[in-house]
Structure 1
């Protein structure tokens, strides 16, 4: 079945200059580390400290840019871009630990280049994936919380969604447990947002690092696409 990744017009009305790397991987074996050394993740945690030299963390340009972006739409109280949490942990010497090969690889990229990077189980996606503005009430089951009742997106909140509900709340804050990539996931979609046009080259390098890492360690070729206001959708 053909599916699409679509960024809705309402999103571009708020963020016309954003670029999103959308990537897909098929036939992933997420059980074995092979030649992947967990020391790569430790090195990335150290590298991440370079992105947040100032205290408080809000004084750092990347964090300030994301906080400004989050101020432009309705968010759950306290929600921050996921990359802020990663960089904050690294800056305090409490770096991200190993989880599984796929997560470790994309966390390594995210820490190295300071971009948020999400991975979802493609086989659990229902219909098309949209990045847009919530009407309000769209259901969301957050990773790491076992409640039987879903949260609901707020009217005006920027969300990723499919036909069944929210995939990621508050844009790049927290992913859904329903589509979480696990050790048994074989087919994965990734998205990595760049909100700062001046960081275009870093964004390209981060995409290439992810592709190279999957090829080297998991022997999988990633297909990548750049989503912009002029090219707002892709079939996967």
Structure 2
């Protein structure tokens, strides 16, 4: 299994000193337990409602501060982890979407960490995390119809050689590389700031990989720690 090591722009590192992430590459296998993701999601929702990790709110607050530094407004476009948690606190649960998506959303909720899941086979070149110049292409949907947008200059984006794969760091994923259980090559990125203990980051990674092995026992998985 070949690991995926994304490149991090030094300007991004300057915005978020101490940024670190787990990059998890997966060669999928036949699914034998399609309910594993939904079960993990239901459990994670109950955990959010019952008791947070001691550092959870501090981690979300740190992400909000980083978003402000590159011009995003976290009240309108929060990091993905905060958006999920707000929905659970308001609605009590999240609906199941897809076994793999449910699983990585469960990890995001449980550990208050942004988790991205991508179809690695749809990537053109390697993923990288730079500041946008404002001319990149971002394929998304509006009112159910495909549209192409561009990020704002200076916005932190995930991208490949083709264009943007996720806007405002981890706020909104694009359509082109969207992940589902049918994908054969998967890539996950778990993104943390110093407010989250390193051991908790590794626990989150283990929760994801263990869930994937329950779902598809033959999967090949490679995990890499990325430090800015």
TM-score using structure 2 length: 0.87
Structure 1's 35 and 181: CA in aligned 2 closer, same or farther, altered over 3 A? closer
1:125 is aligned to 123
Between the aligned partners of 2:4 and 2:170, the Cα distance in structure 1 is 22
Q: 1:142 aligns with which of 140, 143, 167?
A: 140
Between the aligned partners of 2:120 and 2:30, the Cα distance in structure 1 is 14
Between the aligned partners of 2:180 and 2:19, the Cα distance in structure 1 is 28
Q: 2:178 aligns with which of 161, 176, 180?
A: 180
Structure 1's 98 and 3: CA in aligned 2 closer, same or farther, altered over 3 A? closer
User: Does the aligned pair in 2 maintain the 1:52–1:91 contact within 8 Å?
Assistant: no
Q: 2:89 aligns with which of 91, 94, 99?
A: 91
2:199 is aligned to 201
Structure 1's 39 and 3: CA in aligned 2 closer, same or farther, altered over 3 A? closer
Specify every segment of 5 or more residues in structure 1 that has no aligned partner in the other structure, as ranges.
54-58, 230-236
Cα shift at 1:156: 0.4
1:47 is aligned to 47
Equivalent position SS for 1:183? coil
Between the aligned partners of 1:43 and 1:6, the Cα distance in structure 2 is 34
Q: Does 1:105 align with 2:106?
A: no
Q: Does 1:69 align with 2:66?
A: yes
Between the aligned partners of 1:126 and 1:22, the Cα distance in structure 2 is 17
User: Does the aligned pair in 1 maintain the 2:119–2:179 contact within 8 Å?
Assistant: yes
Q: 1:214 aligns with which of 208, 212, 215?
A: 212
Cα shift at 1:35: 6.1
Cα shift at 1:205: 0.5
Aligned residues: 223
User: Does the aligned pair in 1 maintain the 2:3–2:25 contact within 8 Å?
Assistant: no
Between the aligned partners of 1:177 and 1:145, the Cα distance in structure 2 is 14
CA RMSD of aligned residues (A): 2.6
Equivalent position SS for 2:93? coil
Specify every segment of 5 or more residues in structure 2 that has no aligned partner in the other structure, as ranges.
none
Between the aligned partners of 2:53 and 2:222, the Cα distance in structure 1 is 31
Equivalent position SS for 1:104? helix
Cα shift at 1:13: 2.0
